[in-house]
Amino acid sequence: MATGRRVLVVEDEMLIAMLIEDALTDAGMEVVGPVAAVEAALTILENEPVDSIVLDMNLNGRNAMPIADAAAEKAIPFIVMSGYGQAAIGKHHAAPVLSKPFDPAKLIEILHQLNSHP
């Protein structure tokens, strides 16, 4: 169960970030962020405990691959949310991808799966 897990939300579209935040909170997860910039996310990853990440790979036109790389290095599971599908994740092909627009129930289901592994 992912209840109480800290989930970093990295999303540059405010309405989508709010939808994600609501879904996570309703599922009993603690939201970290949301943040809309690569640097802000990397600072959080360096300084705060995070159990998993919901990651938009395109942040105001900037590729968020450095966040995915940092998460992989720290063994923090992440889900990619993208309008570009599987092509957006590059070398992190094992990461689950949830296409936008997304189903909040599917997001929670995937996060529960990610957080059920030690």
Can you tell me the mean pLDDT for 87-112?
Answer: 82
Can you tell me the mean pLDDT for 98-106?
Answer: 89
| Contact criterion met (CB below 8 Å) for 77 and 117 | yes
> What domains lie within the chain, and their CATH numbers?
6-102+110-115 (3.40.50.2300)
Residue 108 scores a pLDDT above 80: yes
Q: What is the pLDDT of residue 37?
A: 97
Q: What is the pLDDT of residue 117?
A: 64
Residue 59 scores a pLDDT above 60: yes
Residue 1 scores a pLDDT above 50: no
Can you tell me the mean pLDDT for 50-71?
Answer: 94
Residue 31 scores a pLDDT above 90: yes
| SS3 at position 62 | strand
35 phi/psi in degrees, rounded to 5: -125, 155
Residue 12 scores a pLDDT above 50: yes
The pTM score is 0.90
Residues 89 and 47: their CA atoms lie apart, in Å, by: 24
Beta strands in the chain (DSSP E): 6-10, 30-35, 52-56, 58-59, 62-63, 78-82, 97-99
Residues 59 and 36: their CA atoms lie apart, in Å, by: 6
